[in-house]
């Protein structure tokens, strides 16, 4: 599969599997689609412009209001310790993660990177979506239990 066909194939596979998705225009990605239905966490699928031929799938969630209040009461060292514990957990489940601030909330993103565009199939994408859903849910449970 060529890189040019990647977006077309992902879109076709999502339609074939009856996923409703929205295409989002961004400056840092060649394409980005977000699946919002029938999953607890919206799943993002995108190809970074800086890494053509790589497909990234991810789920993001924000800390709940009580968790956010608690996080803001921590000093810088304790905040760093919390972020490091989330990163260590994500590493243990073989997920990449990113912790950012969005709209005044702390957002935790859990990602899976697929890098062999020539071997992508519909089944690989569907398996990856399920894996990201599972990793996101495990990470949410970890945050709820430990924070």
For strand 96-102 and strand 43-48, is the pairing parallel, antiparallel, or unpaired? Answer: unpaired
Task: Tell me how far apart the alpha carbons of residues 59 and 116 are, in angstroms, rounded to a whole number.
Answer: 21
pLDDT band at 146, cuts 50/70/90?
confident
Task: Tell me how far apart the alpha carbons of residues 34 and 62 are, in angstroms, rounded to a whole number.
Answer: 16
Is 3-146 a CATH 3.40.50.970 domain? no
pLDDT at 37: 72
Taking residues 89-104, what's their average pLDDT? 95
User: Per-residue pLDDT tens for 13-55?
Assistant: 999 999 999 999 999 999 999 998 766 789 999 999 999 889 9
User: Per-residue pLDDT tens for 69-95?
Assistant: 999 999 999 999 999 999 999 999 999
Residue 9 has pLDDT above 80, yes or no: yes
Residue 1 has pLDDT above 60, yes or no: no
Task: Tell me how far apart the alpha carbons of residues 31 and 134 are, in angstroms, rounded to a whole number.
Answer: 24
Task: Tell me how far apart the alpha carbons of residues 58 and 128 are, in angstroms, rounded to a whole number.
Answer: 10
Task: Tell me how far apart the alpha carbons of residues 133 and 131 are, in angstroms, rounded to a whole number.
Answer: 5
Q: Would the pTM count as exceeding 0.85?
A: yes
The SS3 assignment for 69 reads: helix
For the chain, the structural domain boundaries read: 3-146
Edge-first strand order for the sheet with 96-102 is: 21-23, 29-35, 43-48, 55-62, 105-114, 96-102
């Amino acid at each position: 599969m060529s890189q040019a066909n990647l977006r077309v194939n992902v879109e076709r596979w999502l339609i074939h599997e009856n996923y409703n998705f929205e295409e989002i225009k961004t400056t840092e990605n060649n394409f980005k689609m977000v699946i919002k239905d029938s999953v607890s966490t919206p799943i993002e699928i995108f190809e970074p412009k800086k890494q053509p031929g790589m497909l990234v799938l991810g789920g993001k969630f924000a800390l709940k209001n009580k968790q956010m209040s608690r996080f803001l009461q921590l000093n810088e060292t304790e905040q760093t310790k919390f972020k490091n514990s989330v990163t260590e957990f994500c590493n243990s489940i073989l997920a990449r993660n990113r912790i950012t601030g969005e709209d005044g909330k702390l957002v935790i993103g859990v990602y899976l990177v697929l890098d062999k565009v020539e071997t992508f199939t519909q089944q690989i994408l569907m398996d990856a979506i399920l894996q990201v859903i599972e990793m996101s849910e495990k990470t949410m449970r970890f945050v709820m239990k430990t924070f």
